[in-house]
Structure 1
């Protein structure tokens, strides 16, 4: 429970810290429980869409659902996406990429990445049939977090602990933690109609491509990379759903 609470504290802005204080060591295992935070963020997105779509158009409801996750997470993953593109777009070597990614100022690559990401997300989600959008939101969130969480098992951390923004280096998953992460990612798939099951391949492919790219460019991953890989993998899931629909 301490590890789950640590993950919910780390990946959301909700006041889980009021429940109890968890040991600092637990925050090294938050990625193992990342998919469970998706039950909350994806569930809130789906709930906001369901409620608002009874009053507003699909387009407005999609915007409100996207805003809800930004508010719940404090734009944690979006910050990673912007830093990722700033670093990869402006850096010439490993050291410059890591330096740019750590800079708190956003650059032109980061701004363009966020604009294009949300334009694409809005356009694709709005094109879906109303009845499939809630399942797309929650399943894309949880399954993509499970897939992308595996990055800590296949790549080393690109910085040392003192250079980390969060001041913590994630521990690789044990077999038990891998199974827990898997459960968090696949249980919500119950809501996804079976004919859309092919969409689950897209996040896996996107993850593999980005993991190979990170290994080549910086020899590992950072927290910003985790956020970027998650959002891009989730977007590939949503695009595939739209293609199948």
Structure 2
């Protein structure tokens, strides 16, 4: 339970530290609970979108939902995405990539990457029927975090612990733990409008595999920025895949 609270504290801005004290050692064990935090962030994002869509145009509701998630997470993953694009866009060697990602200033690649990410995110959310969006958002949030967590679990951390932004390195998780967590994160899929949407998991998994090999080749492992970027990239691939399936379904029927 302490590790779950640590995961919520790490991946959201909820001030749980005001009511409970969690020792630092629990924060090294949060990676297995990362997908479960997706239930929280996904419910807030999808809930705001669905509720707002009842009183304002869908386009406005999507923007409000994105703002709600950013406020809840503190733009943690978006910060990682910007550093990811800056590092791999401007770096020509492992040392250069890591140095750029550690720099707190945002560069051209990071700026362009964030702009394109938010345009894509908004476009995908606004393309769905508001009546079906709630379980899709939760499924996307949980599953993208699961894929990223499993990916990270198979890679070494490439910096020294004291060089980490959060001053710790995630502990490795046993496979059967991920199997249990994975089964839990599949719950939102039972509420999807169409069972064929489950096929969107395949491109998401392939994306995670591709990112793993990319990180292994380029820097030999992962950093915190790579974790955040991987979640958002996998999530957008999942959304895009669901949209393709939905559009094809609409065309055929």
Partner of 1:138: 138
Contact 2:159 2:223 in 1 (8 A): yes
- Residue 13 of structure 2 is aligned to residue 6 of structure 1: no
Partner of 1:104: 104
Please state how far the C-alpha of 1:178 moved relative to its aligned partner: 1.6
Please state how far the C-alpha of 1:105 moved relative to its aligned partner: 0.4
- The alignment partner of 2:30 has SS state of helix
For 1:43-54, what aligned pairs fall within 5 Å after superposition? Answer: 43-54=43-54
Deviations 1:153-193 (A, max 9, x none): 21100111011111000011024532343144222222223
**More divergent stretch after superposition (182-191 vs 10-19):** 182-191
Structure 2: distance between partners of 1:47 and 1:32: 25
Contact 2:151 2:209 in 1 (8 A): no
Contact 1:153 1:172 in 2 (8 A): yes
Deviations 1:111-147 (A, max 9, x none): 0000000101111221122222112211100111011
TM-score scaled to structure 1, two decimals? 0.97
Structure 2: distance between partners of 1:29 and 1:174: 11
Partner of 2:235: 234
Please state how far the C-alpha of 1:220 moved relative to its aligned partner: 0.1
Please state how far the C-alpha of 1:195 moved relative to its aligned partner: 2.3
Contact 2:144 2:204 in 1 (8 A): yes
Please state how far the C-alpha of 1:151 moved relative to its aligned partner: 2.0
CA root-mean-square deviation = 1.2
Runs of 4+ with deviation above 6 angstroms: none
Contact 1:144 1:185 in 2 (8 A): no
**Structure 2: where are the runs of 5+ without partners?**
247-253
Please state how far the C-alpha of 1:15 moved relative to its aligned partner: 1.5
Q: Go from structure 1 to structure 2 and tell me whether the alpha carbon gap of 1:122 and 1:129 turns closer, same or farther (over 3 Å shift).
A: same
Partner of 1:205: 206
Deviations 1:91-114 (A, max 9, x none): 110000000001000001000000
**More divergent stretch after superposition (86-95 vs 176-185):** 176-185
Partner of 1:224: 225
TM-score scaled to structure 2, two decimals? 0.94
Give the count of matched residue pairs.
Answer: 245
Partner of 2:55: 55
**More divergent stretch after superposition (230-239 vs 171-180):** 171-180
- The alignment partner of 1:150 has SS state of helix
